A and B are shown apart, each in its own frame.
Chain A
Amino acid sequence: MSTSPAFLPFLLRIADTNLILSQRLSEWTGHGPFLEEDLALTNIALDILGTSRSIYEYAAKIENKGRSEDDLAFLRNERQFLNPLICELPKGDYAFTIFRQCIVDAFQFHFYNALTISTDETLAGIAAKAVKETTYHLRHTSSWMERFGCGTEESHHRLQNAMNEIWRYTDDLFDMPEGYADLVKTKVAPEMMSVKENVQKELLPIIERSTISIPDPSFMQTGSVKGIHTEHLGYLLAEMQYMQRMYPGSRW
């Protein structure tokens, strides 16, 4: 267990990533393109929601201020959430959802893989489970990438649009909170440069197989690690947190 001040923000960043993204994924439940895929995408939402709970629970313990997983999820505000921007973007069409998910899957796969050798045993344990899950998620989303990219003209076009919309949010994924170097030094957390290299190596062939092209990266949007989000997050939280805000102190 690390005593670094970066440890709690680091945990919250992982947990928030999973919670916010699962919130977006679950908007598809009952509205998927066909029944089998509806269930498959919901499985991903369930997996990552499960991971977020494990990490919030651990973060609450680390923080040691008597807050629960629900307090962390439902009673922090827009500026306190640390999820990468990519997670909070509205779900868009199915190409957008799949593309975004594939990027995050590739990120999480390599991030968790590196985290399995963390000196923090709790984290290493959570990562080991998450690696198995994300291996499958990536297999699922990357096969859809190929179907869209090489399917019809329309699906190719939609996937390329998703790429054009989302690519500028990809660098933000790799930012880590201030003081993160401490965590790397004590081998609690992985060095992000090498995670980034692995993610690129993973994604490039998928993008190539999907026959879409990476837009000119003139500018990358960042800031999530300081709690500077897109305008979308506020609405997401308003919906997600409404019960807890409306009935303070109630148990559900």
Chain B
Amino acid sequence: MESKDTQGILWEIFVQKKPGQPFVHCGSLHAFDKEMALQNARDLYTRRGEGSALWCVPSSAIVASSPEDVGPFFDSSNDKVYRHPTFYQIPEGVKHI
């Protein structure tokens, strides 16, 4: 099998601090396979008790929006005030709503 010197592929690492919390992107690293990615993530990003669970995703699998998308993607949601609870008027005195 042909082999070429590499540093492995790039992975994006997401850490969950405590059970129930969202997984948050914390950085990247190199690894050659899935198991190694998990272990390297553990050794690199949870050295100070930062996590209770990990996701590792090959960077090439990430699909990202482009800066040009900013307008069409996100501006149009700015004017949908009816999606926010403060849009609605509830008579005073009504509770738990």
Instruction: Report A's interface with B, CB cutoff 8 A.
Output: 34-37, 39-40, 43, 136, 139-140, 143, 147, 152
Contact = CB atoms under 8 A, between A and B. Distances in A.
B36 A39 contact: no
Interface centre among A36, A136, A147, A152 (most CB of B within 10 A): A36
A152 B47 contact: no
**B-side interface mostly:** mixed
A50 to B, nearest CB: 13
9 contacts: A34-B30, A36-B40, A36-B43, A39-B43, A40-B39, A136-B42, A143-B39, A147-B32, A152-B1
A143 B36 contact: yes
Interface size class of chain B, counting residues whose CB lies under 8 Å from the partner chain = 10 to 19
A136 B40 CA distance: 12
B44 interface: yes
Interface in B1-27: 1, 3, 7-8
Interface centre among A37, A43, A143 (most CB of B within 10 A): A37
Nearest to B11: A36
**A-side interface mostly:** helix
A43 B45 CA distance: 12
A157 to B, nearest CB: 15
Interface in B66-97: none
A40 B8 CA distance: 15
B44 A39 contact: yes
Contact of A40 (B1, B3, B35, B40): B40
Contacts of B57: none
